[in-house]
Amino acid sequence: MDQKQLRSTLLLVLAALIWGCAFVAQSVGAEYVGAFTFLATRSWLGGIVLLPLIAALEGGAKKSGQPSRAPHSAAEKKTLLLGGVCCGCLLFFASMAQQLGIASTTTAKAGFITTMYVLIVPLLSLFLGQRPEKKIWLCVAVGVLGLYLLCMKGGFSLGRGDALVLLCALLFSGHILTVNHFSPRVDGVRLSCIQFFVTAVISTVCMFVFERPDWASIRAAALPILYAGIMSSGAGYTLQIVGQKGLDPTIASLAMSLESVFSALAGWLLLGQTLTTRELCGCALMFAAIVLAQMPGKKRAASQPQTAADV
């Protein structure tokens, strides 16, 4: 691995670290404000943070003589808006399930269950006419066994918080497939910015309908909200964009999947949350399934380019 690839990989590991610690921020934030309030405030911050990034990328493109990534025709603008709305709605429901789930489970469990999207996405792709590799079925079996060891209590009883985070993983899988559909057609940063604002608007409406937000509670949760909005959404997404450029997509996926490990470590170091031996075995199996799912098969390795496409 040359210096450029090493730098890109380390940037993605840093993004995974930021996202892993965000589970702690969400857990702490849930103690002060409602789920809709937390999601609304962090989403507004996430969208606002990306505005100067869009301007900087546009300015950099002009200086280097590269074409603008802004939509020009009415059709391009319509596609960008439609993609942003679809992604924003899915992001709202996925984030909502995650935030509600984190309030009644540990950050370690939430982190590992959320990364089950790595296994769920290929399964959902079946409905789109795509056939996953045979090893995916092994990964699913190993992942489900790990999920059982990590979350099931008293037979086949799944805790409420764990069930909500599992629903979150399913919704995030739909979000990933939607992004995969629109991202080749529009600018990725603008798409993300619009989705954050869509999520923010929906969350704000729900916040005033279902909750009673007050500034005292929001100020008490200011640090978790700032971290989730600026670091997790703004900085994390920026690091992902920079890190994925020119990096083998397999290495990129493996680096970002470390989010689950960092969430467990952050919960232990910052919140004193511990896992039993059974739960640790479940985490190990789920992480093994996630890593194995990202390893290229023979056909995939032969056809895969050496560098990832620009995000």
Quote the CA–CA distance of 294 and 311 in Å, as a whole number.
Answer: 18
Q: Is the pLDDT of residue 300 over 60?
A: no
Query: How does DSSP assign 11-50, residue by residue?
Result: HHHHHHHHHHHHHHHHHHHTTTS-HHHHHHHHHHHHHHHH
Tokens of 47: 């969208």
The candidate with the shortest Cα–Cα distance to 295, out of 240, 251, 242, 257, is 251
Quote the CA–CA distance of 151 and 148 in Å, as a whole number.
Answer: 5
Per-residue HEC secondary structure of 123-135 comes to: HHHHHHCCCCCHH
Judged by average pLDDT, the poorest of 30-39, 65-74, 160-169, 222-231 is 65-74
Partners of 290 in the beta sheet? none
The candidate with the shortest Cα–Cα distance to 16, out of 239, 295, 309, 168, is 239
Judged by average pLDDT, the poorest of 22-31, 213-222, 255-264, 277-286 is 255-264
User: Residue 119 burial (CB < 10 Å; 0-12/13-18/19+)?
Assistant: buried
User: Residue 85 burial (CB < 10 Å; 0-12/13-18/19+)?
Assistant: middle
Quote the CA–CA distance of 220 and 32 in Å, as a whole number.
Answer: 7
At 178-203, the pLDDT tens digits run 887 887 888 888 998 999 999 999 99
Quote the CA–CA distance of 99 and 117 in Å, as a whole number.
Answer: 16
Count of CB atoms situated within 10 Å of the CB of 44 = 20
Count of CB atoms situated within 10 Å of the CB of 196 = 27
Residue range 241-250: mean pLDDT, rounded: 64
Q: Is the pLDDT of residue 53 over 60?
A: yes
At 18-37, the pLDDT tens digits run 988 988 998 899 899 999 99
How distant is the alpha carbon of residue 16 from its chain centre?
A: 9
The candidate with the shortest Cα–Cα distance to 102, out of 176, 42, 189, is 42
- Contact call for residues 25 and 232 (beta carbons, < 8 A): yes
* Total residues found in the chain within this entry: 311
Tokens of 100: 């509600």
Res 310: pLDDT: 33
Res 247: pLDDT: 67
At 108-164, the pLDDT tens digits run 788 878 877 777 877 787 777 777 677 777 877 887 788 778 766 655 567 888 899
